[in-house]
Structure 1
Amino acid sequence: MAARYYLTLPDGATARGDEPSLSFTAQGGDAFAEQLQDALRHDTLFERWRLMQDEPDEVDPSLGATDPDATVKGEQHHLRINLVVTTALSGSVLKHRMRLLAGRHWELRDVTAAA
């Protein structure tokens, strides 16, 4: 069952993870949405992160789940970026991808069932 997640990046310029090679590079609402959507639809970001771990084969494979139907819409309001994510992925997978992309520079505002 799909859910709709409402996320906020309070300051798009600081919405970067700890590892630059895994972080957002976006500069606007649409670009942030596109990068997150790609990270949810494909396992490329997860695999790059997994290979950086000391024991890649011991990483929980469920964190690499993907949703080819995931959609992300982005809007920018001054420095703030609002993202609406619709996906069947678990909240833990979404949060993991967001930590890679944005570090601690994001907020989960709400979760609802997707129609």
Structure 2
Amino acid sequence: MATRYYITLPDGTRARGADPDLSFKAVSADGFASELQAALRTDNLFQRWRVRQDDPDEVDERLAATDPNATVTGAQDSLHIDLVVTTSLPGDTFKQRLRLLAGSGWELRDVTAA
């Protein structure tokens, strides 16, 4: 069952994770959407994060889940960026990927069934 998340990036320049190698590089709504969509559809971001952990073998493998059908759309609205994410990934996995990419520079506005 898919879930739709409505996310706001209040300031795209501050929507960056703690590790620059793992965080968003985008500067546009389409760029943020594209990077997040790739992070949900593949485990590339997860694997890059995992090898940086003190004990990579102890990382919960459930966080490696992917959703090849995930979609993300982005729109610029004045000074902030709105993202609409549709995914079947568990909420914990989705939020972990978003925190890696955006740090605390995002807000969850709403969640609905897709």
TM-score of the superposed pair, with normalisation by structure 2? 0.98
Aligned to 1:62: 62
Deviation track 1:21-78 (CA, whole Å, cap 9, x = no partner) reads 0000001100000000000000000000000000000000001100000000000123
Structure-1 separation of matches of 2:70 and 2:107:
19
Structure-2 separation of matches of 1:76 and 1:17:
20
Size of the alignment, in residue pairs?
A: 114
What is the 5 A alignment of 1:28-43?
A: 28-43=28-43
Instruction: List runs of 5+ in structure 2 lacking aligned partners.
Output: none
Conservation of the 8 A alpha-carbon contact between 1:2 and 1:86: yes
Structure-2 separation of matches of 1:65 and 1:79:
33
Aligned residue for 1:52, secondary structure, equals coil
RMSD: 0.5
Identity between Structure 1 and Structure 2 (%):
65
Instruction: List runs of 5+ in structure 1 lacking aligned partners.
Output: none
What is the 5 A alignment of 1:1-115?
A: 1-114=1-114
Structure-1 separation of matches of 2:94 and 2:7:
11
Conservation of the 8 A alpha-carbon contact between 1:5 and 1:85: yes
Letter in 2 for 1:40: L
TM-score of the superposed pair, with normalisation by structure 1? 0.98
Pairwise CA distance, 1:79: 2.4
